[in-house]
Amino acid sequence: MPKSLVKAGAEIDGYAIGECVHAGGMATLWTVTHPGIDVPLLMKIPRVSEGEDPAAIVSFEMEMMILPRLAGPHVPTCFGTGDFAKQAYVVIERISGTTLYKRLPDLPLPYDEARGLVARIATALADLHRQNVIHHDIKPSSIMFRDSGEAVLIDYGLSHHNHLPDLLQEEFRLPYGTAPYMAPERLLGVRDDPRSDLFSLGVLLYFFTTGERPFGEGETLGAMRRRLWRDPYPPRALRADYPPWLQEIVLRCLEIEPVWRYPTASQLAFDLTHPDQVKLTARSERLKRDPLSTAWRRRFNPTVKPARPASDVAAQIASSPIVAVALDTAEGAPELNEALRVTTERILTTLPSARLCCLNVLKLNRIAIDQTLDEEGSNKHVDRLVALRHWATPLKLGDNRLSAHVLQAVDPAAAILEFCEVNHVDHVIIGARQNSFRRTLLGSVSSKVASEASCTVTVVRPQRLAGEAGEAAEG
């Protein structure tokens, strides 16, 4: 392997080398410039000298394969790579600011601030998973934030790409990662489950809200293996004022069994964004760890399965979408709402991990003062929440799969579109009434949502109950 060509003032493939800004255990970072690129750049160079860890070279190969395939605001833009025959490198955009690691002296953070930070990270993870990549090294030093607020995930040397060879899996038996954040199944060789990243994010949320890591600082393999059977102390055991809804989220992320965690990062982000909608279970009230009898049963009767044939990350995410159904509880005809329920039930039957958001828009007046009470003195907002949950009762969804939202807006279609955009909704179901002169003149809510939504839209008409129930036009 050739000697490294990197030093200040050198030029590699048209990139002029500046200063070294970071020297890590597996790679170094240099500022570079290029005549054809007008954004700040960094060149990442692997350590390849005698005595360096061979895993550093393999992980850099993974990063060179994965980074050029990623796109979007939550990943650093990749501008070029170089192979090991001459000089291995990856050139990425230089993101202004520092990593989340710089916030460690401020811990524990206020609950609401930590919730907002982790919600943005979960959104970034959801975008990464949709691109068939599992990060496998979520920790404060691998997270940055753009000036616009979006979280950016960096360092992909330990990542798994569903459509690429997993060199780390093929060449090494020990799991590589940052011990305090590593998911239990990683210790059994499982690298193709995106819920491993959600475990790591749960560790980060626990740490940032309590000031302590849930599994301590144990770096030995034996210490890490204990998390296959031993759960952490509940956050409320450390902080008496810890919000029950936040403990519910944290402990769900830290479940030993991946199947008991959130199915997707999008659903985790949704709960963090809507803490009032979090469904509390026994997790939220816990003050102690599981009894030793439970821990011993897990240890000698493990249910976390070892490595299995590679799964399709995209298919797993597709089976757990966020579905929104827009209902008009005030004026909606009974037959239309029934058609919506039939269609929704048909769709959810094929998606056992989907989350359903029931939406209603309380239309505001453009000029007149809005009244919060109806003619009988009841609160309109509360009445509509009750009506939404009553509508959803026949669907028999678990509490953690259902939420109700009454939006207030002058423009109902715009409110629905904004909700779907902010909450990363994958599929909208909306009803369309019979034609009328007013709708012909001004345009209907359903047509605007169908034409402008960035996700799948199913439009339901009541007369279809007479034929094929819930038959829909999708766009």
pLDDT string in tens for the chain (475-residue length) = 445 567 888 999 999 999 999 887 778 999 999 998 999 999 999 987 655 667 788 899 999 999 999 999 999 999 999 988 888 999 999 999 889 999 999 999 999 999 999 999 999 999 999 999 999 999 999 999 999 999 999 999 999 999 998 888 887 777 888 999 999 999 988 999 999 999 999 999 999 999 999 998 767 788 888 899 999 999 999 999 999 999 999 999 999 999 999 999 999 999 999 999 999 999 999 999 999 988 888 888 766 554 444 456 777 788 899 999 999 876 657 888 899 999 999 999 999 899 999 999 988 865 544 455 555 556 788 888 899 999 999 999 887 899 999 998 889 999 999 999 999 999 999 988 665 544 544 458 888 999 999 999 999 987 644 444 444 444 4
At 125, list the tokens.
């993870």
**Helical packing angle, 244-253 and 195-210, nearest 10°:** 140
- Say if residues 177 and 225 touch (Cβ distance below 8 Å): no
Fold category of 11-93 in CATH: Phosphorylase Kinase; domain 1 (3.30.200)
Tell me whether domains 100-313 and 321-474 share a fold.
Answer: no
Fold category of 100-313 in CATH: Transferase(Phosphotransferase); domain 1 (1.10.510)
One-letter identity of residue 66? I
Euclidean distance between CA atoms 229 and 304, whole angstroms: 10
The domains of the chain are located at: 11-93, 100-313, 321-474
Euclidean distance between CA atoms 468 and 161, whole angstroms: 41
Smallest CA-to-CA distance from 118 within 271, 251, 269 is with 269
Hey, what CATH class is 321-474 in?
alpha beta
At 108, list the tokens.
């524990």
* Predicted structure pTM score: 0.88
Farthest-apart Cα atoms in the chain, separation: 83
